[in-house]
Amino acid sequence: MKFFKESETPDDSSSVFSSSDSMSHNSVKQKLPNLRVLKFYQFMVSHKFIIATYIGVFIIQTAIWAIVGGIDEILYSLNTDLQNRKRFFVSPGFFEFKIGCSLTSGILIVILIESVFYIAAEVITLIMCIRSDRDTWSIKKETLIYVIVQSIGISLFVISSFIDIMSILVDYFVPYALFMFGALALETIICVLLPVCYAIRKDFHSTHHNPQDSTLESILKNKKGFKTILDFARRSYCPEAVLCWSDIQRFKDCKKREKKLEIAKYIIEHYLTPSSYLELNMPQLANVKEELSLMVMGSASTVSNDVFDMIENHCLQDLADLQHRLVSSDKFIASMVQELKELQRLKASCEEKVEETFNVELEI
């Protein structure tokens, strides 16, 4: 069912659309003359469309099976010629569970008609897929690989059916239809399982190697690093900066307006209130609290994402001393810091090389 996945390819345009959502509608219309096309893409990648199509195809298939099989069964039972009566579509019968079904020419016609329809859909979406100019999620690559796998699977299946020894003897032990199912299983692996693995790997790497992050931020964003640092901070009686940092991340990640406001209030109440249990070590805390409270409570619309940036920086600065203490006592953190430094050095030397090449090109 490649049909649905292909529609995801124009993801760039759909994100353009959603980001312009906040602009006034008219200006969007002027700026984007192909708004309709974008809307169409938006619809194509929506869950609504994908789920509706799956359910639709499922219902049509089931209906064909029930109607055609039902008619077949009725005609069969109405036939008075008990000797020569035959089922046209499903050969052993609808309610026969003791033996498997086999292909009859009747059912073959149905399958062929259906295939024409699905193959046409596949070809159309394949063309759309090849024509798409970006391949952000490698869907184009996967589709092309799968088309090859699918063709091999089908050819092997068809060829086997013509070789007697395959279709009669081997099929008795190992059904050659497995070529088809093998191709289908490979589709799931190539197009579903592997992309999930890539995503996990990418997430894992990105938490390690976000170039904008300082060493300390990278440690904090790593699950084990965060746990180690929080544990160490607790034992050193200073968990407030770590906890505040993590709550600010929670605040920034939160999409729901009310929840966001709630987290913001929590942060102000717990970390920025003088004499509160988790009070931060910060100059002029009372003023800071007042200022931020105004910004959070005063804003009629959503709370801006960078409200706590200043606090976040302060937390990171406060943690510098703790990080140093931790590096000299915890092997895991020490090795992580070492690794990150190595990476930074590599990055710097790469950048230098790029710059050099660029300069050489300019000179030429």
Partner 1 sequence: MGNIVVSPHDKEGQHHMMATPTSNNPNGGSAATAKNKSEITVLLLGAGESGKSTLFKQVQFFHGVGITHDQERIELIEIVRLNVLENAKNLVAATQHLNIPIEQPENRETAKLIINSLNTNDLEDPSWSKRLYSLWKDAGIQKAYENREKFQLYDSTEYLFENLDRICSDKYVPTVVDVIRTRTKTIGITDMKFDVGDGKQLRLVDVGGQRNERRKWIHFFNTVDAVVFLTSLSEFDLNLYEDNGYWRVKESLRVFNEVVNNALFYKVPFVLLFNKRDLFEKKIATKSFSKYFSGFNEAEEKNPVACIEYMTKLFLNEITEHPLDTVSVKTLSAIDHDNSKQVFEEVKQFIMTQQHRE
| Footprint of partner 1 (CB under 8 A) | 231-241, 274, 277, 279-286, 317-322, 324-325, 327-329, 337
Q: What angle do CA 360, 363, 364 make, to 5 degrees?
A: 90
Q: What are phi and psi of 41, to 5 degrees?
A: -60, -45
Which residue in 325, 337, 311 sits closest to 238, CA to CA? Answer: 325
Rounded to a whole number of angstroms, the minimum distance from the CB of residue 125 to partner 1 is: 49
Rounded to a whole number of angstroms, the minimum distance from the CB of residue 270 to partner 1 is: 12
Q: Where are the beta strands (DSSP E) in 172-315?
A: none
Rounded to a whole number of angstroms, the minimum distance from the CB of residue 215 to partner 1 is: 8
Rounded to a whole number of angstroms, the minimum distance from the CB of residue 329 to partner 1 is: 6
Q: What are phi and psi of 238, to 5 degrees?
A: -145, 55
Please say which residue, 138 or 313, places its beta carbon nearer to partner 1.
313
Please say which residue, 72 or 247, places its beta carbon nearer to partner 1.
247
Please say which residue, 46 or 317, places its beta carbon nearer to partner 1.
317
* Contact in structure between 304 and 179 (CB atoms under 8 Å): no
> What six digits make up the tokens of 148?
């090859």
3-class SS of residue 348: helix
Query: What CA–CA distance (Å, rounded) separates 116 from 133?
Result: 28
Please say which residue, 321 or 356, places its beta carbon nearer to partner 1.
321
* Contact in structure between 80 and 70 (CB atoms under 8 Å): no
Rounded to a whole number of angstroms, the minimum distance from the CB of residue 292 to partner 1 is: 17
Tell me the torsion sign for CA atoms 77, 79, 80, 85.
Answer: negative
Please say which residue, 69 or 239, places its beta carbon nearer to partner 1.
239
> What six digits make up the tokens of 98?
């003791």
Q: DSSP state, 245?
A: H
> What six digits make up the tokens of 65?
């099976």
Rounded to a whole number of angstroms, the minimum distance from the CB of residue 342 to partner 1 is: 14
CA 64 to chain centre: 34
Rounded to a whole number of angstroms, the minimum distance from the CB of residue 293 to partner 1 is: 18
3-class SS of residue 70: helix
Please say which residue, 33 or 283, places its beta carbon nearer to partner 1.
283
Rounded to a whole number of angstroms, the minimum distance from the CB of residue 252 to partner 1 is: 21
Please say which residue, 66 or 310, places its beta carbon nearer to partner 1.
310
Please say which residue, 188 or 349, places its beta carbon nearer to partner 1.
349
CA distances from 301 to 257, 295, 297 (A): 9, 11, 10
Rounded to a whole number of angstroms, the minimum distance from the CB of residue 281 to partner 1 is: 5
* Contact in structure between 87 and 104 (CB atoms under 8 Å): yes
Please say which residue, 263 or 337, places its beta carbon nearer to partner 1.
337
CA distances from 182 to 100, 102, 223, 283 (A): 20, 20, 38, 66
Query: What CA–CA distance (Å, rounded) separates 243 from 220?
Result: 11
